[in-house]
Amino acid sequence: MGENPAKNHYAQLNQGEENEMEIFGYKTQGCRKALCIAGYILSCGALLLLFYWKPEWDVWANCIRCSLEEADIVLLRTTDEFRIYSRKTVTWISVSALIKSRLDYPGTAEEDSVFSKAIMKPSLQVKSIQVQRIRYVWNIYAKQFQKVGALEDHHTCSAIHAKFGSGLTCNERNVRKVICGPNTIDVPVIPVWKLLIKEVLNPFYVFQLFSVCLWFAEDYMEYATAIIIMSLLSIFLTVYDLRQQSVKLHRLVESHNNITVTVCRNKEGDSCFQELESHHLVPGDMLVLKEGKTLLPCDAILISGQCIVNESMLTGESIPVTKTHLPQADNFKPWRMHCAEDYKKHVLFCGTEVIQTKADDTGVVKAVVLRTGFNTAKGDLVRSILYPKPMNFKLYRDALRFLMCLIAFAAIGMIYTVCVFALNGEEAGEVVKKSLDVITIAVPPALPAALTTGIIYTQRRLKKKGIFCISPQRINMCGQLNLICFDKTGTLTEDGLDLWGLLPCERDCFQDIHSFPADHSLPWGPVFRAMAVCHSLIVWEGKIQGDPLDVKMFEATNWVIDDSSGHKIEGQGSTHATVVRPGPKASSAPVEGVAILHQFPFSSALQRMSVIAQEIGGEQQVFTKGAPEMVAMLCRAETVPLNFESKLLLYTAQGFRVIGLACKSLQAGKQSTDLTREEVESDLTFLGLLIMENRLKRETKPVLEELSAARIRSVMVTGDNIQTAVTVAKNAGMISATNRVILVEANKIPGSFSASITWKPLEENKTEDYRGLDDSPPTTERRIRLALASGQYHFAMSGKSYQIVAQHFRHLLPKLLLNGTVFARMSPGQKSSLVEEFQKLDYFVGMCGDGANDCGALKVAHAGISLSEQEASVASPFTSRTPSIACVPELIREGRAALVTSFCMFKYMALYSTIQYLGVLLLYWQLNAFGNYQFLFQDLAITTVIGVTMSFTGAYPKLVPYRPPSQLISPPLLLSVVLNILFSLSLQVFGFVVVQEQPWYSKTDIYSACLSVNNHMENSSSISSLGLHGMRDGAHGQTDNGYKSYENTTVWLLSTINCLIVALVFSKGRPFRQPIYTNYVFILVLIGQLGICLFLVFADIDDLYSKMDLVCTPTTWRISMVIMLAVTLAASFLVEEAVIENRPLWLLLKKTFRYHSKSHYKRLQRVLEQDSAWPPLNETFFSDSVAISVEGSMGGHSNPTFDSNEDAL
């Protein structure tokens, strides 16, 4: 096929995004397909099943490589460490019915769009694939698959207004509709039969089916039936669970799919309005938003008017958000780049609710459809549930390796079995059955079921404590967490803010502080006006709604919002303005009210918001509020007090949230809508500081202390001011009083591509004296150096610095993260990025937030814990019903207990199967085996019951300062398994050999030991007729079925009680689980089982022995067996306690052999301990390299919506 196909055979899909994939082109070949079909028939479907598990093998067998352009099958591979393959068939969409003539070709709006570039001429067909519910079409010119269902990013602001401002023509719409598909987020409820088939084809259940068939062939009916019942129960429970999730998800999205909307159509240059069902919408359509509440069926860009939207469905915060229209900027930048981080202020997201619309001069509120279907914000959320990120946890990888070892173990046993039975001339059928039996003994079919029981119990315990889990496999990961990122507002501190005081400023001097709640009300003046109008509050359902900070500030004025719709203001056209008026309790004011004409909403990037307001009958004024440092920069220097910085530090150092206020008058006659934000927010007059109190939650300090005592790192990630964040961290105990805080500041150097980074010690937080470090350099410097030498320092940095460090000082980032405790002014994208960077250092990261704009980080973390019950918390694996961080240690405790339980179950199941395996192989030596009831007793009465009850043990209430091992293949665990296998082997071989040495032992006469038994004489005649193989060929009557022998009785009794010993020894309690005696059910079960086993040892009931294939032995031998078991118990218990669980011993061994942890962060810690120059103090470094773009990684994991105004200012 030449070189070309190979070259174009491969490409990348969604490059730089979270769901990045590699795509390979293949073409089906007839003769290969025919060979595969023959293979399916000859292998009785086994090959088909293998291809179902391995789709890549299916493609490689059926197809040949070709370029993507020629491909009719594509193979997709994820680019993460899992490299998961999936197979997709290429489909063709015909648009010939829509394009009858040259005139019908996509029009002006289409020239540079993917729609015109995807239509193949002359066939008028579009080549497409669908991956994870998103459609991709083949771009003929770019020679690649491109996503459709979204407006292209390259449009400029003015182009969006010009191209889509009057709507699409009917023809443009129809072509787009056929290519993009319907605008629906359709999650059909998966039929039960499909779920059943998918579950049954799981490799584990296929192995169980093989085992069950084999047991039926050997007449081992009872256990086969028990396994079938257990498996069916397990399958039905899983299917029921999946079905419930499917129904829940279907309900979550179904309301979105059938909404009636009004669109604007372009007919021969004239616009006309038309009502249609929302599933007909296409990207580029013009939506007209009517008054009243509307649920948005797609993502759209607002191009005229203003909206107030409730985004709680996506952000978890029920604070109404103001959206403004896209400016008509005339430049060449794509609209998103032009609006920078604030582009979301112009986007209405799918699934959110428009509460209120405000039209401008045109009289209608219009929006251009940006994304449809699964491309939307809500679609993204639903896809994150449908296709969760696979978890990379060593336990699951090790479990597979462990199973492989057992299979290898079984293979040795099979070879041994074939040799022994074939050499003794057994029938071929019998040999095959016996050797296959070894596999079902060595690889316990009940293993996965036993492992899931522990997790199910833990999930139930968490549910009782008000913690809900949608991703059970993450419970074990919680046991490994060693770093928790906390959001601040609403997580560590109370949700609401209290107004503490106001520090007004007049003629560049701060006045006396006005405290709240005060006896006298605030005097009328610019500060009062700013508090009354500088907010984005609305009246919704009779209540004032909005940012809690705004609500508190406005309530302090005792004014009210007049919500009668629309007020005409002189000289302002038809502007719909919100008017605030003095309330009944308000102090007298010289005005009737103030109208808010225009809003520039709060922006995380700009850290401020502004309004243009006008006193009724008065002049227009601008009021701005925001981060004090930001507001002061926008004010005229002569209006800002000289002691501004020290005053700000005074309050932020006490943990107050400080807001700056400013204002200016506007020239008369200028339309407020014509002014740009830059014009409005300049040359302001500084008005003063508003001081809010954000109290710590009562449980914050004890929880953080508990985590610290358990050596679990706590990190604060917030959108608030850095000084406030540091103070809250100190008050909460994240940073102890003796530790130093070093502020890391990184800045871009204007006019160049390089950047600088500076390390400054944060000043001593003594509120009474702020004398900087220069007053007493020697002592302060020495004190800091001492703290640094002992490693007691913490880095604090802002989101801006973090971004610059990630771009320009990549090599310093790991060092900074190692001691970074406070990350302030972080955007949602940066929060996700930070969590990922911590994960790269081999930390197990938990993220605890209120769901608002932490959703991206909650999804990325190993364990995301949302304290919000809004629908946004679906992104988070864990949700706490009580909004308190007390759930974090609770989850870690339960995670550790679940992890240890998993290990105990693994060890027990490994040993139970090995004990049975060794016993069977010993008996095979004599062409004997365990009887069916013997197997049944061990498998069902012992192991199944233990498997179900062993996991009942709860978590230990105290968090110890170390974690359980994270992998099965750790030396203590392996040693424990190996030693116990050796004990079991010794016990069984000893019993097997010694019984043959007994004076009463006879190979042929199985009744010789109990001569005193009355019916011995009657039986002896029938016994003597049995030869050596008489057991197998002869009388299969009541007396004997060929299994009875002294070796069988000895080995079976020893191995059965050995299973109980192992269960007791492995059920360890402290330090991660409660002591074993607290698990009453398990203890009662063990006592009951031991009682039955001892009864079987000492009872001499003929019928019972006959049923169980046991023979009578002298009492001395029975006592000898009990002594052997007691010795095994003592040895096993001693080894487990004195060696395996002896932590000091293992630490000593590590020290002796100089073993160091391979975790990246541990290695880095050791390097930095040797580095006396770290951390540099009062030094500045410059980057010489060109910046690496980290755009992709910064925002990659945040749903477009999640950037909300979390910590506001």
Give the largest Cα separation in the chain, rounded. 126
Does residue 314 or residue 512 have the better pLDDT?
Answer: 512
Q: Phi and psi at residue 760, in whole multiples of 5°?
A: -125, 135
Task: Specify the DSSP element, H or E, that contains 485.
Answer: strand 483-486
Report pLDDT for 1040.
Answer: 53
Q: Which is the catalytic residue, given 487, 547, 1109, 1203?
A: 487
Sign (positive/negative) of CA torsion 364, 370, 374, 376?
Answer: negative
- Which range, of 337-341, 597-601, 805-809, averages the lowest pLDDT? 337-341
Report pLDDT for 829.
Answer: 76
Report pLDDT for 105.
Answer: 54
pLDDT band for position 1018 (cuts 50, 70, 90) = very low
- Which range, of 514-518, 702-706, 964-968, 1124-1128, averages the lowest pLDDT? 514-518
pLDDT at 606 over 60: yes
Report pLDDT for 653.
Answer: 77
- Which range, of 283-297, 481-495, 1011-1025, averages the lowest pLDDT? 1011-1025
pLDDT band for position 392 (cuts 50, 70, 90) = low
219 is catalytic: no
pLDDT in tens, 623-638: 999 989 889 999 988 8
Cβ neighbours for 909, distance < 8 A, ≥ 6 positions apart = 444, 446, 447, 450, 943, 947
pLDDT in tens, 58-88: 999 999 999 988 899 999 998 877 788 999 9
pLDDT in tens, 333-388: 777 777 766 677 889 988 888 888 888 777 788 899 999 989 888 888 788 778 87
Average pLDDT over all residues of the chain: 81
Sign (positive/negative) of CA torsion 1109, 1113, 1119, 1123?
Answer: negative
3-state class percentages of the chain: helix first, strand second, coil last, to nearest 5: 45, 20, 35
State the number of CA atoms in the 13 A half-sphere of 1080 facing the CB.
Answer: 0
What are the structure tokens assigned to 744, written together?
Answer: 């890391």
Average pLDDT estimate for 1120-1145: 92
Instruction: Map residue 37 onto helix, strand or coil.
Output: helix
pLDDT band for position 692 (cuts 50, 70, 90) = confident
What are the structure tokens assigned to 638, written together?
Answer: 């002569």
State the number of CA atoms in the 13 A half-sphere of 892 facing the CB.
Answer: 30
- Which range, of 350-359, 499-508, 1004-1013, averages the lowest pLDDT? 1004-1013
Report pLDDT for 1093.
Answer: 95
Report pLDDT for 782.
Answer: 58
Report pLDDT for 929.
Answer: 87
Pick the closest to residue 386 from 400, 395, 374 (CA basis): 374
Report pLDDT for 783.
Answer: 58
pLDDT in tens, 99-137: 765 555 544 345 567 788 888 777 788 899 999 889 999
Report pLDDT for 322.
Answer: 82
What are the structure tokens assigned to 238, written together?
Answer: 């899983």
Question: Which amino acid belongs to residue 490?
Answer: G
Cβ neighbours for 14, distance < 8 A, ≥ 6 positions apart = 20, 21, 147
pLDDT at 736 over 60: yes
pLDDT band for position 874 (cuts 50, 70, 90) = low
Task: Give the CA-trace dihedral at 403, 409, 414, 417, to 10 degrees.
Answer: -140
Does residue 371 or residue 316 have the better pLDDT?
Answer: 371
pLDDT in tens, 917-940: 999 999 998 888 888 888 889 888
pLDDT in tens, 561-584: 886 655 555 444 445 678 888 888
Report how far residue 1123's alpha carbon sits from residue 1184's, in angstroms, rounded to the nearest whole number: 76
- Which range, of 81-90, 178-187, 721-730, averages the lowest pLDDT? 721-730
Pick the closest to residue 622 from 672, 556, 569, 572 (CA basis): 672
- Which range, of 177-191, 495-509, 778-792, 987-1001, averages the lowest pLDDT? 778-792
Residues in the chain: 1209
CB count within 10 Å of CB 483 equals: 22
The burial class, CB within 10 Å (0-12 / 13-18 / 19+), for 643 is middle
Report pLDDT for 773.
Answer: 38
CB count within 10 Å of CB 698 equals: 10
pLDDT band for position 1033 (cuts 50, 70, 90) = very low
CA of 824: how far to CAs of 489, 533, 611, 749, in Å? 12, 28, 26, 22
The burial class, CB within 10 Å (0-12 / 13-18 / 19+), for 61 is middle
Pick the closest to residue 835 from 844, 1202, 875, 1157 (CA basis): 844
CA of 1132: how far to CAs of 192, 717, 1064, 1073, in Å? 48, 48, 10, 20
- Which range, of 61-65, 281-285, 328-332, 472-476, averages the lowest pLDDT? 328-332
pLDDT at 1021 over 70: no
Residues 1040 and 923: beta-carbon distance below 8 Å = no
Task: Specify the DSSP element, H or E, that contains 817.
Answer: helix 813-819
Does residue 446 or residue 356 have the better pLDDT?
Answer: 356
Pick the closest to residue 79 from 854, 1196, 1201 (CA basis): 1196
The burial class, CB within 10 Å (0-12 / 13-18 / 19+), for 1024 is exposed
Average pLDDT estimate for 602-608: 75
**Percent of the chain at pLDDT above 70?**
86
pLDDT at 763 over 80: no
**Bridge partner residues of 1073 (DSSP):** 955
What are the structure tokens assigned to 736, written together?
Answer: 């102890």
Report how far residue 74's alpha carbon sits from residue 48's, in angstroms, rounded to the nearest whole number: 19
Report pLDDT for 875.
Answer: 62
pLDDT at 527 over 60: yes
Report how far residue 112's alpha carbon sits from residue 139's, in angstroms, rounded to the nearest whole number: 12
What are the structure tokens assigned to 208, written together?
Answer: 């169980």
pTM for the full model? 0.78
Report how far residue 903's alpha carbon sits from residue 953's, in angstroms, rounded to the nearest whole number: 13
pLDDT at 1030 over 50: no
Residues 1019 and 1122: beta-carbon distance below 8 Å = no
CB count within 10 Å of CB 408 equals: 11
Pick the closest to residue 944 from 1108, 1059, 1087, 1064 (CA basis): 1059
